[in-house]
Amino acid sequence: MTNLPFIDLAAQQRRLRPAIDAAIARVLDHGGYVMGAEVRDFEAKLAAFGQSPMALSCANGTDAIALPLMAWNVGAGDAVFCPSFTFTATAEVVPWNGAEPVFVDVLADTYCLDPAKLEAAIVAVKAAGRLKPAVVIAVDLFGQPADYPALRTICDRHGLKLIADSAQGFGCTLNGEHPIHWADVATTSFFPAKPLGCYGDGGAVLVKDTAIWNRLDSLRVHGKAVAGDGVDTGHHDPKYLNTRIGMNSRLDTIQAAILIEKLSIFAEEIMLREAVATRYMSGLAGSRATAPKVIDGGQSVWAQYVIDHPNRDGLAAHLKAEGIPTAVYYPVPMHLQPPYEHFERGAGGLPVTEAAAGRVLALPMHPYLMAEDQDRIIAAIRAF
Ligand SMILES: *Cc1c(COP(=O)(O)O)cnc(C)c1O
């Protein structure tokens, strides 16, 4: 019995290889390896796909979250509310500039940020007075949109910025709208295993206006002078005039060229992922595995297909013996990891997050999962 892949990147590559080879060759021919023409071209195409006025690429999905925090001068004394049931990067960037994450529990069905608990956490932080609520980072966990209408209302009531960490969810929609419809900025990652991945590291920030785009452009290139800084660059290269402390976080031109090709089939791949998810859903109906719930009106891009199972570890071992790989996202919530333990938690703690961490199991999921392989996975789960 052959071992199945968890994510089959090779299947997509077989389909796109000639186009990708040609795209890479074009970059080698023109030699603009950093900020070449493909970077701006890709940013325009990405913005169009995500129904966003503009997009700015950067080196990875972690920097994509850090850059807007820097642009808004979020720092010491500021509270940034985020889920604990997420990949490290969501909270990791918050202390970089001295701000503090406040971990908030998620909803038991979608695993996305719980609006009621967010509201309570903001009120508690305000009452305590030590930190000033500044930003909310919502995560489109496993590919589905968070409850943005509710989160936006809360952010408006308290004067907070809203970041959509859509590293797993780029392309997801709620009632036909992409997260940027509600969020101040939406961020994504092009890590190879994400739904829209490149062949290395990459990331992007979707933004709504030129002023923030320029500020982020400055920050991704060492704080270079940009339009709006009011700097008379005279005869100097603005690259060597620094108006703020920035970083080096650019998307390689070769990765942009690869992403242009991948984006051209992404809409179709989301539909293929949806078909795989639907097949799992009906195949597992009536079994002890609880299928994932997507928010009403939501379209997930199915970065992961995550079931809930009372004997998660037993099932994972059984599937492994059958040549079926699985993964646990995430075994230890952020607020229980040693470097993050001392940060604040929303009132009542994070019982839903802690329970979910012991029960979730991600099954093989990618657009090219064959029906017979999926049948094998479903049969193995039902037999356990
Ligand atoms: C992958 C991921 C990131 C970080 O992306 P990188 O490109 O790996 O830096 C951030 N947030 C979430 C939720 C992720 O899944």
The token pair at 274 is: 């949806």
Give the pLDDT confidence score for residue 316 in this predicted structure. Answer: 98
Q: How many domains does the chain have?
A: 2
Amino acid at 307: I
User: 139 C-alpha to center of ligand 1: Å?
Assistant: 10
The token pair at 226 is: 């940009």
User: 83 C-alpha to center of ligand 1: Å?
Assistant: 14
| pLDDT tens column, 49-93 | 999 999 999 999 999 999 999 999 999 999 999 999 999 999 999
State mean pLDDT over 265-293.
97
How far is Cα 39 from Cα 81, in angstroms, rounded to an integer? Answer: 32
In a domain, 297, yes or no: yes
The residue to which tokens 């690259």 are assigned: 239
Q: How are beta strands 344-345 and 100-104 bridged, if at all?
A: parallel
| pLDDT tens column, 177-222 | 999 999 999 999 999 999 999 999 999 999 999 999 999 999 999 9
In a domain, 83, yes or no: yes
User: 63 C-alpha to center of ligand 1: Å?
Assistant: 9
Pocket test for ligand 1, best of 57, 62, 251 (most atoms within 8 A of CB): 62
In a domain, 379, yes or no: yes
In a domain, 228, yes or no: yes
**Nearest-CA residue for atom 5 of ligand 1:** 61
**Secondary structure element (H or E) that encloses residue 375, with its range:** helix 371-383
Same domain, 239 and 289: no
3-state secondary structure 236-265: CCHHHCECCCCCECCCEHHHHHHHHHHHCC
Give the pLDDT confidence score for residue 1 in this predicted structure. Answer: 73
With a cut of 90, say whether residue 251 has pLDDT above it.
yes
Nearest ligand 1 atom to alpha carbon 60:
7
Same domain, 253 and 333: no
Nearest ligand 1 atom to alpha carbon 62:
9
Residue predicted with more confidence, 148 or 230: 148
Domain boundary among 229, 263, 297: 263
User: 89 C-alpha to center of ligand 1: Å?
Assistant: 6
Give the pLDDT confidence score for residue 215 in this predicted structure. Answer: 97
Give the pLDDT confidence score for residue 230 in this predicted structure. Answer: 86
3-class secondary structure, 173: strand
How far is Cα 367 from Cα 115, in angstroms, rounded to an integer? Answer: 31
Domain boundary among 215, 235, 263: 263
Same domain, 71 and 187: yes
Confidence tier at 239 by pLDDT (50, 70, 90): confident
In a domain, 4, yes or no: no
Give the pLDDT confidence score for residue 199 in this predicted structure. Answer: 98
| Protein residues whose CB sits closer than 6 Å to any atom of ligand 1 | 60-62, 86-87, 89-90, 139, 165, 167-168, 189, 191, 201, 203
Same domain, 255 and 272: no
Burial class (CB in 10 A: 0-12, 13-18, 19+), 230: exposed
**Secondary structure element (H or E) that encloses residue 363, with its range:** strand 360-363
CB 304 within 8 A of CB 86: no
How far is Cα 339 from Cα 195, in angstroms, rounded to an integer? Answer: 29
In a domain, 347, yes or no: yes
Same domain, 159 and 285: no
Under DSSP, the state recorded for 224 is B
Strands (E), 69-220: 78-83, 100-104, 132-139, 161-165, 173-174, 185-189, 203-207
Same domain, 280 and 194: no
State mean pLDDT over 331-352.
96
- Supply φ then ψ for residue 228, to 5 degrees: 100, -15
Domain boundary among 240, 263, 286: 263
Same domain, 175 and 279: no
The verdict on whether omega for the bond into residue 330 sits within 30 degrees of 0, i.e. cis, is: yes
Q: What share of the chain is helix, strand, coil (3-state, %, to 5)?
A: 45, 15, 40
How far is Cα 15 from Cα 69, in angstroms, rounded to an integer? Answer: 38
Q: What is the DSSP string of 341-353?
A: TTSEE-TT--HHH
- Arithmetic mean of pLDDT over the chain: 97
3-state secondary structure 44-66: HHHHHHCCCCEEEEECCHHHHHH
Which CATH number do you get for residue 272?
A: 3.90.1150.10
Confidence tier at 307 by pLDDT (50, 70, 90): very high
CB 75 within 8 A of CB 99: yes
Same domain, 189 and 330: no
| pLDDT tens column, 61-72 | 999 999 999 999
The token pair at 65 is: 């979250």
Same domain, 110 and 217: yes
Give the pLDDT confidence score for residue 192 in this predicted structure. Answer: 98
With a cut of 90, say whether residue 235 has pLDDT above it.
no
Same domain, 174 and 210: yes
Domain that holds residue 227: 9-263
Which CATH number do you get for residue 222?
A: 3.40.640.10
In a domain, 2, yes or no: no
Pocket test for ligand 1, best of 63, 67, 82, 87 (most atoms within 8 A of CB): 87
With a cut of 90, say whether residue 304 has pLDDT above it.
yes
**Nearest-CA residue for atom 10 of ligand 1:** 89
In a domain, 144, yes or no: yes
Same domain, 287 and 258: no
Pocket test for ligand 1, best of 106, 139, 191 (most atoms within 8 A of CB): 191
Give the pLDDT confidence score for residue 234 in this predicted structure. Answer: 77
Nearest ligand 1 atom to alpha carbon 86:
13
User: 187 C-alpha to center of ligand 1: Å?
Assistant: 9
User: 25 C-alpha to center of ligand 1: Å?
Assistant: 28
Q: Which of 161, 212, 244, 165 is closest to 55 using CA atoms? A: 212
Amino acid at 8: D
Give the pLDDT confidence score for residue 238 in this predicted structure. Answer: 81
| pLDDT tens column, 99-150 | 999 999 999 999 999 999 999 999 999 999 999 999 999 999 999 999 999 9
Same domain, 198 and 211: yes
